[in-house]
């Protein structure tokens, strides 16, 4: 694939890129105030039109999106189409199809004590929103939340990741092509820019990134009592029980682990495999790596399908994780080859893992897969529960009882049985974490709700009604009514 020589002005945006002045972010925020007020009354069709123009732009600029991702970290065309473009087009299609019913006020039943009233839940736009996104799926994770914001009727300022300048530049161009800055705007920059934006009293902040930065975001949001959605990360365990189809599991685990070179928030972080099938699983994992990334035995480093590590800083981080584990006694079962100047990191399988190793605690976020074993399911469940609650938990098992036990006894944002990672693409499921792995949910209806205030509305009749009986002066009758309310309702 050719490197990107095409869009010169984009290069110039990046060459001249500077931290935006605080004044300009303030005035940008101010400029969205009137729009946010006008958009409160925007019709279904107006919201659909705003979302549909993103779909047209994406379709017309698919080539540019692929090139930006290739330039940022040599992400293959197929993976870009699947993990950056398809999630956006399908999210748009799903939103357009369902927005009418999402926007419709939802009537709620009337309790006996409230007889004579009517009530409904009205999803109103929260208003001015901020979207801060990470580098690992830089297009998908900036534009996905924007679709939810627009569906809910909100304005947005997007702060994309500074680590993927080509994609962030393209996002800025897209937004400038499609929206007035008083509607949707992109502010480029690093943590400092983020922090300047966080001083503003946004009505909602949607952050995707690491748990460490998530804590900072929540702390800043608290100063304005802005609501937050925090889509964070962590260590997603993958449990492989003795009844699992080993070949099938190995192939799916390798795919889920190595898509985007392991730089995926929901990638299997480590395996917990039943001791009785550990050796067979290891063999099948090696075969799966070979089949998926080196079918012609030319060396995995020549694979066009394995994305590179995003930058030198992350390469060094992964290098340190691996060296630390090896120094502390981990066994290298497969891989380990590294070519720093190409940021190539070979898929690497490790066994003999101990808690003294850094990779037993840190989110790996790369192509290193530690393999731990267990003999008793309770022991495996205790291990999972000894760590912060994960974003995703994967179970490979054909034993219903075992699967149910893991579901009941562990907590995680999502669970996938007999596969991994796929749930991200399922628009009917809430996507997100729990505590350390995230707060709030996204995708489809759940994304729409994240940017909406669910306003409860009660409509009372004129004149006499049940509540009239409760007004002062409080006499015996009032007390009797209240007593029966407490007793019966
Ligand atoms: P990060 O937290 O370092 O950065 C995310 C964003 O926050 C960037 O735009 C960055 O500029 C900004 N930022 C960084 N430091 C900041 C600070 N001190 N104050 C304010 N803003 C700051 O995350 P990353 O390295 O870009 O992405 C990797 C992390 O994101 C992993 O932990 C991964 O699991 C997680 N992630 C989660 C999801 C999800 O949907 N739950 C998806 C992708 C990635």
Q: How far, in Å, CA of 22 to CA of 193, rounded?
A: 8
Please compute the mean of the pLDDT values over residues 257-282 and round it to a whole number.
Answer: 98
Q: Do domains 3-232+442-453 and 237-430 have the same CATH topology?
A: no
Q: How far, in Å, CA of 337 to CA of 330, rounded?
A: 16
Q: How far, in Å, CA of 206 to CA of 60, rounded?
A: 27
Spell out where 110-259 has E strands.
Answer: 118-125, 128-132, 155-159, 184-186, 204-208, 227-231, 236-240
With a 6 A CB cut-off, is 210 part of the ligand 1 pocket? yes
Q: What does CATH list as the number for 3-232+442-453?
A: 3.40.605.10
Which ligand 1 atom is at minimum distance from the Cα of 437?
41
Give 113's pLDDT tier (boundaries 50, 70, 90).
confident
Give catalytic residues, as residue numbers.
Answer: 231, 265
Give the closest residue to 59 by CA, choosing from 82, 86, 78.
Answer: 86
Residues 53-108 have pLDDT tens digits of 999 999 999 999 999 999 998 999 999 999 999 999 999 999 999 999 999 999 99
With a 6 A CB cut-off, is 208 part of the ligand 1 pocket? yes
User: According to the model, what pLDDT value does residue 466 have?
Assistant: 87
pLDDT at residue 142 tops 50: yes
Residues 411-464 have pLDDT tens digits of 999 999 999 999 999 999 999 999 999 999 999 999 999 999 999 999 999 999
pLDDT at residue 15 tops 90: no
Identify whether the C-beta of residue 134 lies closer than 8 Å to the C-beta of residue 160. Answer: no
With a 6 A CB cut-off, is 442 part of the ligand 1 pocket? no
User: According to the model, what pLDDT value does residue 13 have?
Assistant: 47
Choosing from 209, 216, 236, 426 the residue with most ligand 1 atoms within 8 A of its CB, the one to mutate for a pocket test is 209
Scan for tokens 């705007």, then name that residue.
185
Identify whether the C-beta of residue 399 lies closer than 8 Å to the C-beta of residue 405. Answer: no
pLDDT at residue 320 tops 60: yes
Question: Residue whose CA is closest, atom 18 of ligand 1?
Answer: 191
Query: Cα 432 vs. chain centroid, distance in angstroms?
Result: 6
With a 6 A CB cut-off, is 195 part of the ligand 1 pocket? yes
What is the 467 CA–ligand 1 centroid distance (Å)? Answer: 51
Please compute the mean of the pLDDT values over residues 122-144 and round it to a whole number.
Answer: 98
237-430, CATH topology level? Aldehyde Dehydrogenase; Chain A, domain 2 (3.40.309)
User: According to the model, what pLDDT value does residue 3 have?
Assistant: 35
Domain ranges of the chain: 3-232+442-453, 237-430
User: According to the model, what pLDDT value does residue 19 have?
Assistant: 52
Which ligand 1 atom is at minimum distance from the Cα of 160?
9
With a 6 A CB cut-off, is 233 part of the ligand 1 pocket? yes
Q: How far, in Å, CA of 19 to CA of 28, rounded?
A: 14
What is the 465 CA–ligand 1 centroid distance (Å)? Answer: 53
pLDDT at residue 189 tops 90: yes
Residues 221-240 have pLDDT tens digits of 999 999 999 999 999 999 99
pLDDT at residue 1 tops 90: no
In terms of pLDDT, which residue wins out, 68 or 22? 68
pLDDT at residue 10 tops 50: no
User: According to the model, what pLDDT value does residue 21 have?
Assistant: 60
With a 6 A CB cut-off, is 391 part of the ligand 1 pocket? yes
The mean predicted confidence, pLDDT, of the chain is 95
């Amino acid at each position: 694939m050719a490197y990107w020589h095409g869009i010169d002005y984009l290069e110039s945006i990046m060459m001249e890129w500077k931290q935006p002045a605080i004044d300009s972010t303030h005035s940008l925020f101010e400029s969205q105030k009137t729009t946010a007020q006008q958009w409160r009354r925007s019709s279904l069709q107006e919201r659909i039109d705003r979302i549909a123009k993103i779909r047209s732009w994406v379709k017309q600029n698919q080539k540019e999106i692929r090139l930006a991702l290739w330039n940022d970290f040599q992400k293959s065309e197929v993976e870009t189409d699947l993990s950056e473009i398809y999630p956006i087009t399908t999210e748009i299609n799903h939103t357009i199809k369902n927005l009418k019913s999402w926007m419709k006020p939802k009537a709620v039943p009337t309790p006996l004590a409230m007889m004579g009233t009517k009530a409904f839940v009205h999803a109103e736009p929260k208003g001015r929103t901020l979207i801060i996104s990470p580098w690992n799926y830089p297009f998908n994770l900036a534009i996905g939340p924007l679709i939810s914001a627009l569906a809910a009727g909100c304005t947005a300022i997007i702060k994309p990741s500074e680590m993927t300048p080509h994609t962030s530049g393209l996002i800025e161009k897209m937004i400038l092509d499609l929206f007035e800055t008083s509607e949707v705007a992109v502010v480029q920059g690093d943590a400092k820019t983020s922090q300047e934006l966080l001083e503003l009293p946004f009505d909602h902040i949607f952050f995707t990134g690491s748990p460490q930065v998530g804590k900072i975001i929540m702390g800043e949001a608290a100063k304005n009592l802005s609501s937050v959605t925090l889509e964070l990360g962590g260590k997603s365990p993958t449990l492989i029980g003795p009844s699992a189809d080993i070949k099938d599991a190995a192939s799916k685990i390798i795919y889920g682990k190595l898509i985007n070179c392991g730089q995926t928030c929901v990638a299997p972080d480590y395996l917990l495999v039943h001791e009785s099938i550990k050796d067979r699983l290891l063999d099948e994992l090696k075969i799966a790596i070979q089949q998926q990334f080196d079918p012609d035995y030319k060396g995995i480093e020549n694979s066009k399908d394995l994305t590179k590590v995003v930058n030198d800083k992350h390469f060094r981080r992964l290098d340190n994780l691996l060296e630390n584990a090896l120094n502390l006694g981990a066994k290298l079962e497969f891989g380990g080859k590294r070519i720093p100047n190409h940021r190539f990191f070979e898929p690497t399988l490790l066994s003999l893992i101990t808690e003294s190793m850094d990779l037993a605690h840190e989110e790996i976020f790369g192509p290193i897969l530690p393999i731990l074993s267990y003999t008793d399911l309770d022991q495996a469940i205790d291990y999972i529960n000894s760590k912060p609650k994960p974003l995703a938990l994967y179970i490979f098992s054909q034993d219903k009882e075992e699967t149910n036990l893991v579901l009941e006894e562990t907590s995680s944002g999502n669970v996938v049985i007999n596969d991994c990672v796929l749930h991200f693409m399922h628009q009917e499921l809430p996507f997100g974490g729990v505590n350390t792995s995230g707060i709030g949910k996204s995708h489809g209806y759940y994304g729409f709700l994240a940017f909406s205030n669910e306003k409860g509305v009660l409509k009372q009749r004129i004149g006499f009604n049940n509540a009239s009986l409760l007004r002062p002066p409080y006499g015996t009758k009032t007390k009797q009514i209240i007593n029966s309310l407490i007793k019966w309702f």
